[in-house]
């Protein structure tokens, strides 16, 4: 255990925690809505076991994603998806994803609702975390993912209001998060097997350049999307 902690890629751990907080803030909303119709004495159980089920399911999905990213062209596709996710993070629009989520009247139903809703909503988290884990030693990737999730999920569930206030007070946090997703996307795409077969193993300089280009692309696209949204809102008025 001590060896695992001392050899862990802490930069990747920090990235995973940031990704989960920024992209997983909706989990707290889902859990609250799913458990709102439970008797008071069962709500804590619904929150606890729903969260545990969601964590286990997400670890399984990430394990598959980490393995699949070794297939040619999938890192390119995953990187493109991360660029889009980063842009949506910076310019989220006004859509309400949770308006039709109904609370369950019993404990088992609430747990199922939390797990299913998290499954539907966690595609962005899974791709982003799998991309962040790629920079770690292959033998440590899943341990790193699990460690990052165990740290970040409680922050999301029990500290969601604090996190939201932090994000509202410091918009730069969201901007940095979007740039981080772009950074991971660029690094993923330049190391795709299909790209490596064509240009050879990229140098460290080329990897950093690709990552920086991805971060810049997300920030630029996010700003363009926000300006379009403001223009549409002004036109509507």
The pLDDT tens digits of the residues spanning 59-78 come to 888 778 777 777 888 889 88
**Tokens 């926000």 map to which residue?**
226
Q: Counting beta carbons within 10 angstroms of the beta carbon of residue 87, is it exposed (0 to 12), middle (13 to 18) or buried (19 or more)?
A: buried
The pLDDT tens digits of the residues spanning 75-95 come to 898 889 889 888 887 887 655
Model confidence, pTM? 0.69
Hey, what are 94's tokens? 């006004």
Over residues 13-26, the mean pLDDT reads 72
The pLDDT tens digits of the residues spanning 175-212 come to 888 898 899 889 889 989 899 999 888 998 999 999 99
Residue 134 contacts residue 126 (beta carbons within 8 Å) = no
Asked whether residue 232 carries a pLDDT value surpassing 60, the answer given is: yes
Number of structural domains, the chain?
1
Calculated CA dihedral for residues 125, 127, 132, 138, nearest 10 degrees: 120
Higher pLDDT, 218 or 89: 218
């Amino acid at each position: 255990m001590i060896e695992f902690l001392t050899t862990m890629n802490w930069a990747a751990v920090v990235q995973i925690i940031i990704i989960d907080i920024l992209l997983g803030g909706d989990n707290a909303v889902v859990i609250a809505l799913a458990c709102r119709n439970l008797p008071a004495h069962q709500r804590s159980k619904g929150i606890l076991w729903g969260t545990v089920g969601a964590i286990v399911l997400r670890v399984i999905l990430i394990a598959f994603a980490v393995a699949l990213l070794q297939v040619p062209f999938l890192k390119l596709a995953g990187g493109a998806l991360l660029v889009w996710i980063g842009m949506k993070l910076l310019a989220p629009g006004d859509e309400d994803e949770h308006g039709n989520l109904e609370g369950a009247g019993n404990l088992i139903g609430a747990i199922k609702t939390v797990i299913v809703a998290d499954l539907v909503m966690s595609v962005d988290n899974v791709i982003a975390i799998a991309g962040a884990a790629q920079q770690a030693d292959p033998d440590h990737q899943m341990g790193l993912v699990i460690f990052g999730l165990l740290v970040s999920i409680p922050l999301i569930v029990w500290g969601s209001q604090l996190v939201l206030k932090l994000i509202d007070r410091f918009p730069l946090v969201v901007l940095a998060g979007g740039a981080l997703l772009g950074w991971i996307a660029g690094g993923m795409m330049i190391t795709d097997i299909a790209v490596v077969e064509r240009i050879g193993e990229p140098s460290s300089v080329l990897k950093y350049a690709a990552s920086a280009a991805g971060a810049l692309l997300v920030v630029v696209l996010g700003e363009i999307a926000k300006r379009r949204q403001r223009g549409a809102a002004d036109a509507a008025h």
